Amino acid sequence: MFGFLSSLKVSAEKNLKNITLGTLAAILTVLPVYAQSRLVFIYPPINLSLGIDSLELFANEGVINKELAYYMNLAGVNDEEKQAFREALLKKADLNPVEVSRFFNSPMGQELLQRVGHLFSIQGGRNGVYAIRGAMVQAAFDEEEGLTLLNFLRHLPVNMQFNLEEILRAATYLELLGQGTNAIVTEMKSISAQTREQETVPNFSNIRDIRQRGDYGVGPSRRLRLFDESRQREFDVVLVQPQRWREGKTPVIIFSHGLASRPEDFKEDVLQLVSYGYVVALPQHPGSDFNQLQEMLQGFSREIVKVDEYVDRPLDVSYVIDELERRNRREFEVRLDLNNVGVMGHSFGGYTALALAGAKLNFDSLEEICGRNLWGPNLSLLLQCRALELPRKDYDFRDERITSTLVINPVTSAVFGPEGLSQVSIPVLLAAGSSDPATPAAIEQLQAFVWINTDDKYFALVEGQAHVNFTKLDAQMQAVLDSLLDLTLPNQKVIDTYGNALLVAFAEVYTAKNEEFRPYLTSSYAYYISKQPNPLHLVQDDAEIPFSELFNRSKSARSRAIYPRNIIPSND
């Protein structure tokens, strides 16, 4: 699901604004009021209104009547912006109306609309969640016009009000997050440059290019059906092994997929590791995978994710290790090293990997953050706050057989918080994208990096990376992307080469215990392979260049973006 919610992006500070506004527009374009209805703008003591018929006249005929002209003059809109607004009013989102209805009836969909309904409410102040949902669904079912912003507004059943004071708070949060993200990119460049001056590294053009496939080849893959009797849980795991075995023990990596994904989505990525002599296992997580999303869209479930997945996902990974231990002698001739397993994960899979590394669920953090009326552009809170439905107890998923973890765009801030992440003490590489609206780097990954309590931790930042691989979206998600204006996509081929290199370098050093690959885990190597328009920055937090201290340079913009309590009070 984050593939849809997080795929919206445009550049730097403006990118984050457009992504969030694009997401809101996509929400608003899926919902009915008629020409006599009005939009009310509340900014105490000011109370103004605009007839939807004025917007309809402008969208259909390009005519700006006296009422609409007043607002456009007030906002200082130029001719180019007027044309863009007209196009936005008529831009159709090609979505299945039944699936739209089902999504917004799911717990995550309802929570999303509750947040929007706080800003865009029924006149008088009542949350507009039901009016918004009804208008989106009716507009989506309109065979003639379909789901457009104008058709959504036309179907609203009552006068609706924009609570401008709250909207301006949210906009300020968004702007600060953009500033904080820009500050992070600036500081990453600075830290990387300082680090390169102190590093002693080989001439990378004269040594192996680990972006290319390794020497062990890619052997057969198979899909196993596992059944954990203790949980009565059945799930698949895709197992891939090299063509030729390493000398001595064979290292093992387990990769945990994200929300609404499947193991196959990441198989191509992990083949790089396989070619370097690794056995890689990709477990399916049944209550939060692609099949669960389809169950919801087809009406067989109300949930995109089952709340028990916060418990079951890490237990799935541990069970896979158990299963490999059972098979090690009869199928692998005791080759597998199952006492030094590396775990990698993307998004919700990042949560999974960090939980196995020792991070603890933090219900106090969840209650404080999830209790705020405004969340800003951090879409991952829709997922993280579901964990509040779990029974309150001390969950411990630490698996001592796991000795390193690499996480990509993980969800962390509320579900773990500083106390939970401080329990992680094994080597970690944390990868983030500067244009990620689902798990914003300033909130989700930077904080996690500082809070994780280990001597061996690396932070990788890819400028322009936006949470998902856009080349792997299905046709419906691609249609959503096509409906968004001013969307700039990252160069996925370049980003894939970064992944190839980082996965191999980190796994070799910390899973295979091969120190020969340590030069690849340097700022110098990241700089060497970095390409425009999506450069890579890699830093290690160490005694010589303390990462957290250097980041204090960007403290003002960054901390206000991360901790906007003076902007978004938790109880207002």
Question: What 3-state class would DSSP assign to 40?
Answer: strand
Query: Whose CA is closest to 160, among 190, 189, 186, 135?
Result: 135
Please give the structure tokens belonging to residue 275.
């070619």
Question: What 3-state class would DSSP assign to 431?
Answer: strand
Specify if 248 maps to a domain.
Answer: yes
Specify if 392 maps to a domain.
Answer: yes
Average pLDDT of the residues in 236-252: 97
Q: Are 182 and 142 members of one domain? A: no
Identify residue 174 by its one-letter amino acid code: L
Q: Are 73 and 185 members of one domain? A: no
Q: Are 255 and 352 members of one domain? A: yes
Share of the chain above pLDDT 70, in %: 84
Tell whether the model's pLDDT for residue 225 goes beyond 90: yes
Query: Residues 6 or more apart from 128 whose CB is under 8 A from it?
Result: 116, 117, 120, 121, 122, 160
Say if residues 557 and 542 touch (Cβ distance below 8 Å): no
pLDDT, tens digit, 9 for 90 and up, residues 513-529: 999 999 999 999 999 99
Q: Are 233 and 277 members of one domain? A: yes
Look at residue 259 in the predicted model and tell me its pLDDT.
94
Specify if 338 maps to a domain.
Answer: yes
Tell whether the model's pLDDT for residue 4 goes beyond 90: no
Please give the structure tokens belonging to residue 46.
């000011």
The residue among 46 and 261 whose pLDDT is bigger is 261
Please give the structure tokens belonging to residue 325.
């231990």
Alpha-carbon distance of 528 to 363, in angstroms, equals 42
Query: Residues 6 or more apart from 239 whose CB is under 8 A from it?
Result: 221, 222, 223, 224, 279, 280, 281, 282
Look at residue 20 in the predicted model and tell me its pLDDT.
40
Question: Is residue 466 classed exposed, middle or buried when 0-12, 13-18 and 19+ CB atoms within 10 A define those classes?
Answer: buried
Look at residue 490 in the predicted model and tell me its pLDDT.
66
Q: Are 252 and 392 members of one domain? A: yes
Q: Are 500 and 544 members of one domain? A: yes
Alpha-carbon distance of 317 to 397, in angstroms, equals 10
Q: Are 54 and 137 members of one domain? A: yes
Query: Tokens 């890619």 appear where?
Result: 218
Please give the structure tokens belonging to residue 500.
């190839």
pLDDT, tens digit, 9 for 90 and up, residues 537-551: 999 986 455 566 545
Q: Are 155 and 181 members of one domain? A: no
Q: Which pLDDT band, with edges at 50, 70 and 90, does 470 fall under? A: very low
- Count of residues in the chain: 572
Q: Are 49 and 142 members of one domain? A: yes
Specify if 488 maps to a domain.
Answer: yes
Specify if 565 maps to a domain.
Answer: no
Q: Are 160 and 254 members of one domain? A: no
β-sheet bridge partners, residue 163: 42
Q: With helix as H, strand as E and coil as C, how does 243-310 read?
A: CCCCCCCECEEEEECCCCECHHHHHHHHHHHHCCCCEEEEECCHHHEHHHHHHHHCCCCCCCCCCCHH
Q: Are 195 and 159 members of one domain? A: no
Q: What is the mean pLDDT of the chain?
A: 85
Q: Is the dihedral of CA 541, 545, 549, 551 positive or negative?
A: negative
pLDDT, tens digit, 9 for 90 and up, residues 383-436: 999 999 999 999 999 999 999 999 999 999 999 999 999 999 999 999 999 888
Beta strand pairing call for 221-228 and 160-163: unpaired
Look at residue 489 in the predicted model and tell me its pLDDT.
61
pLDDT, tens digit, 9 for 90 and up, residues 481-538: 444 444 456 677 888 999 999 999 999 999 999 999 999 999 999 999 999 999 999 9
Report the predicted TM-score, pTM, of the whole model to 2 decimal places: 0.86
Maximum separation of any 2 CA atoms in the chain, in Å: 82
Q: Give the CB-side neighbour count of residue 466, counting CA atoms within 13 A.
A: 28
Question: Total domain count for the chain?
Answer: 2
Specify if 410 maps to a domain.
Answer: yes
Specify if 378 maps to a domain.
Answer: yes
The string of DSSP codes covering 371-415 is T-S--TT-TTHHHHGGGGGS--S------TTEEEEEEES---TTT
Specify if 9 maps to a domain.
Answer: no
CATH number assigned to the domain comprising residue 241: 3.40.50.1820
Question: Is residue 159 classed exposed, middle or buried when 0-12, 13-18 and 19+ CB atoms within 10 A define those classes?
Answer: middle
Alpha-carbon distance of 150 to 18, in angstroms, equals 19
Q: Are 196 and 142 members of one domain? A: no
Average pLDDT of the residues in 75-101: 91
Look at residue 1 in the predicted model and tell me its pLDDT.
52
What range does the domain containing 95 cover? 38-166
φ, ψ for residue 107, nearest 5 deg: -55, -40
Question: What 3-state class would DSSP assign to 336?
Answer: strand
